[in-house]
């Protein structure tokens, strides 16, 4: 171990960024630190979930009609409370809440940003100790500063994101966030309770041999999607071209894709004819991260996902995202 090596914490990194951009107000840096604080609180509960009364169902459904886990509720409360007590956010929209939440105190209304959250992605994995995560995105408000935020502040196309990120709670806890300049990865050091820069300037590999899709719904996908899956599942003389992975947690899927490359597909199917994942809370932030890391994100074979303007907070959409060359291959197949 190099004892002279400087380990930069999230706070130190955001302060350094402020010094590099003298015109910055510090609001975005403060916002990211508040999100990091809430993530550390959630991480503590995730790590002791097996011995605490926090596993299992909460006994209600969310606005999506899905069963809410106890840890879902805890995570939702932690992130909203952290942002509400901050002075850097004027409102939050969460996957767990039907409507957005404006913060109406004097300092919050003067802030420039709104935040959209999926507080706990992959919550069906909670009871079986598989990776789960948090997804967030930040937009500059459109409504006048000094007044309560409005719905239009949250219904902006993904191209307008100022920052986006995720926290993955797994064998180690990582926070990855992207601004318009770069993608940075921080790993939580439990010995000091700080996120430390571990993956600077992340780039998604241009090529890979990993594809991820729920093949259990294969017969429900449209023909062109089945055709692309058939291509990725084909064998050569060595009995291998591509490797298949599927976790059931978008954060885990995107994190692996960002680090190792590949393609993640979540097509429309069955009763989810408009797609299943949420445009505002999941697809936009992950697409922003992937593009800033050199990858590609599509809503279909021809449409860039980030260019879509949301029609409602809880809108669902198909997503195809990953390494540039694998995405090029996929687009060629589905557009034949």
Residue positions forming the annotated binding site for Mg(2+): 95, 118, 120-121, 282
What's the CA gap between 202 and 294, in Å, rounded?
9
End-to-end CA distance of the chain: 53
What's the CA gap between 283 and 290, in Å, rounded?
10
| Binding site as annotated, residues | 95, 118, 120-124, 214, 282
Indicate the DSSP class of residue 308: P
Q: What angle do CA 225, 124, 136 make, to 5 degrees?
A: 80
| Binding site as annotated, residues for substrate | 121-124, 214
246 touches 215 (CB < 8 A): yes
Q: What is the 3-state secondary structure (H, E, C) of 51-79?
A: HCCCCCEEEEECCCCCEEEHHHHHHHHHH
What's the CA gap between 289 and 305, in Å, rounded?
12
Radius of gyration of the chain (CA): 20
CB atoms within 10 A of CB 199: 15
Residue 91 forms beta bridges with which residues?
Answer: 102, 114
Nearest CA among 7, 19, 325, 39 for reference residue 170? 39
Q: What are the DSSP calls for 223-272, one per residue?
A: HHHHHHHHHHH---TTS-S-EE---S-HHHHHHHHHHH--EEEE--BTTB
């Amino acid at each position: 171990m190099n004892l002279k090596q400087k380990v930069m914490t999230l706070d130190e990194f955001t302060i350094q960024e402020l010094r590099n951009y003298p015109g910055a107000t510090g609001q975005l840096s403060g916002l990211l630190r508040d999100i990091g604080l809430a993530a550390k609180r959630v991480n503590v509960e995730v790590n002791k979930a097996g011995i605490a009364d926090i596993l299992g169902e909460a006994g209600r459904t969310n606005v999506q009609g899905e069963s809410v886990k106890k840890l879902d509720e805890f995570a939702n409360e932690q992130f909203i409370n952290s942002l509400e007590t901050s002075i850097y956010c004027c409102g939050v929209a969460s996957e767990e809440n039907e409507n957005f939440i404006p913060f109406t105190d004097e300092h919050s209304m003067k802030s420039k940003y709104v935040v959209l959250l999926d507080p706990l992605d992959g919550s069906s994995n909670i009871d079986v100790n598989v990776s789960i995560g948090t997804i967030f995105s930040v937009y500059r408000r459109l409504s006048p500063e000094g007044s309560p935020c409005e719905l239009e502040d949250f219904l902006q196309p993904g191209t307008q994101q100022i920052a986006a990120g995720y926290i993955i709670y797994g064998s180690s806890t990582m926070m990855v966030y992207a601004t318009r300049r770069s993608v940075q990865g921080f790993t939580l050091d439990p010995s000091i309770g700080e996120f430390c820069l571990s993956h600077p300037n992340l780039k998604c590999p241009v090529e890979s041999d990993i594809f991820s899709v729920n093949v259990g719904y294969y017969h429900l996908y449209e023909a062109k999607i089945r055709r692309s899956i058939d291509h990725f599942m084909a064998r050569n003389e060595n009995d291998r071209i591509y490797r298949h992975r599927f976790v059931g947690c978008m954060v885990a899927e995107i994190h692996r894709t960002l680090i190792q490359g590949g393609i993640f597909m979540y097509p429309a199917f069955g009763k989810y004819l408009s797609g299943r994942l949420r445009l505002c809370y999941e697809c936009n932030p992950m697409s922003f991260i992937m593009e800033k890391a050199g990858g590609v994100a599509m809503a279909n074979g021809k449409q860039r996902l980030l260019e879509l303007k949301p029609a409602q907070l809880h809108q669902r959409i198909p997503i195809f995202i990953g390494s540039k060359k694998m995405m090029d291959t996929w687009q060629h197949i589905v557009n034949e």
